[in-house]
A and B are shown apart, each in its own frame.
Chain A
Amino acid sequence: MMIMRQYCHFCEELKFLIQSDCNLNHKNMKIALLLFAFTIFLIPTIASADVIPDNWLTIPICTKIENINLFPDYTFILFNQTPFDSRYLIVKQNECFDIKKSEHPELFAIKKTDFKLSDIGENTVARNKYFKTNPKLIKSDLLFYPSIYAPTSDPRSAITDILTIQTISDAKLNIIHSKAINYYVGGTSAELPYDQRLNFWPEPTIFDQIEHYSKSAFYFLLPIMALGGIIFLVIKNKKTI
């Protein structure tokens, strides 16, 4: 009853607030609707901002581990956490997994005797907790290569990145990039050892740099500019009084 009364009081207050400052006319209504429509149409436009231009293409990278079967006592799990989601994959020998551009996955090994799939949990929070707190998980420091952008003139159609497990101790999973295979548009392929990787994974492209700088701009530059705009408007408002 008390809550209902408070709610009614709140509604009355809102009604009063709206009525007391109501100077809306048809022109304003039209402007508001246009702005709303503009914002709604802006969203898919922004969403397509990450799409690469016509004269560039994405070369997918298939990453796989070639010697999992030499470690039959272990299960290997790839865990990927993004700001809004997380997922995992039980990795099998020579099975491809691809890394998306914005992903930074981690590879873990765990003794089969310590592993129960149901322990991981079904939601993001449970999964994050499992992978961050489980002392039985053995982590690797390996960095994965995501799919790359390249000009359409690039002869490669796909790349396979082959990983090799070297050792597993209680503290560390030691795994390396051992070689890469380039697949070319004409159907041929070439295998190169990892020390020639620079031929395969070039320096960050302009799109990687744009992604990096746009995130920095979003987190730091945008608030500073907005604060500057707010201060400017407040000072301007005070001067006009």
Chain B
Amino acid sequence: MTSLIIALALTITLEFLIAWALLRRTPLKLFIYSVLINCFTLPIAIYIYTHYQPQDSYHSQHLLLYFSLEFIVFAVEIPLWWLLTKIKLPKAIILSFLANLVTSLIGKFI
């Protein structure tokens, strides 16, 4: 349980820092948005990743599942950032892409 909460806290912090660096809005609001968005997407993604891993544990299949989930999270987070921060859609795409790129790479390789 601790590792799940640490993963969530780190993801929230990283995405908040990226959103703040990119948007330069009031940090408190961005932090709340980051908390809400990640509390919605991350537990579901972790649940699917840990409970629906391929039975044939080939490395490529694991990577495929991992990055497919990351892509879905990226896609889901675009409208959420867009709706909450009222930024333009291209900016929301860039923000979601950068935030998920950083967190997914950290999550996978560190």
Contacts and interface: CB of A to CB of B under 8 A. Distances in A.
Interface of A: 13-14, 17-18, 21-24, 28, 31-32, 35-36, 39-40, 42-43, 46-47, 49-50, 83-84, 102, 125, 128-129, 132-133, 211, 214-215, 218-220, 222-223, 225-227, 229-230, 233-234, 237
Interface in B30-89: 31, 33, 35-41, 43-44, 46-47, 49-50, 53, 55-59, 62, 80, 83-84, 86-87
B27 A125 contact: no
A46 B5 contact: yes
B1 A211 contact: yes
Given A36-B13, A43-B6, A219-B44, A125 B22 contact: no
A214 B1 contact: yes
B4 interface: yes
A36 B28 CA distance: 10
Interface of B: 1-6, 8-10, 12-13, 16-17, 20-28, 31, 33, 35-41, 43-44, 46-47, 49-50, 53, 55-59, 62, 80, 83-84, 86-87, 91, 94
Given A43-B10, A226-B40, A229-B36, A22 B24 contact: yes
B24 to A, nearest CB: 5
B16 A35 contact: yes
A39 B9 contact: yes
A47 B2 CA distance: 5
A219 B43 contact: yes
Contact of B24 (A23, A46, A47, A102): A23
A132 B56 CA distance: 7
Nearest to B21: A18
B86 A237 contact: yes
A109 to B, nearest CB: 21
B13 A49 contact: no
B101 to A, nearest CB: 12
10 contacts: A18-B22, A23-B24, A39-B16, A43-B10, A50-B1, A218-B4, A219-B47, A223-B41, A230-B80, A233-B33
A17 B50 CA distance: 37
A226 B84 CA distance: 13
B91 A17 contact: yes
A218 B3 contact: no
A233 B56 CA distance: 43
A25 B44 CA distance: 36
Nearest to A84: B3
B24 A21 contact: yes
A230 B38 CA distance: 11
Nearest to B27: A32
B84 A23 contact: no
B25 A21 contact: yes
A23 B5 contact: no
A223 B91 contact: no
A222 B47 CA distance: 12
Nearest to A125: B59
Contacts of B46: 83, 219
Given A230-B36, A237-B86, 18 more contacts: A13-B94, A14-B22, A17-B94, A22-B24, A23-B25, A28-B27, A31-B28, A32-B20, A47-B2, A49-B1, A129-B58, A220-B43, A226-B37, A230-B40, A230-B83, A233-B36, A234-B83, A237-B83
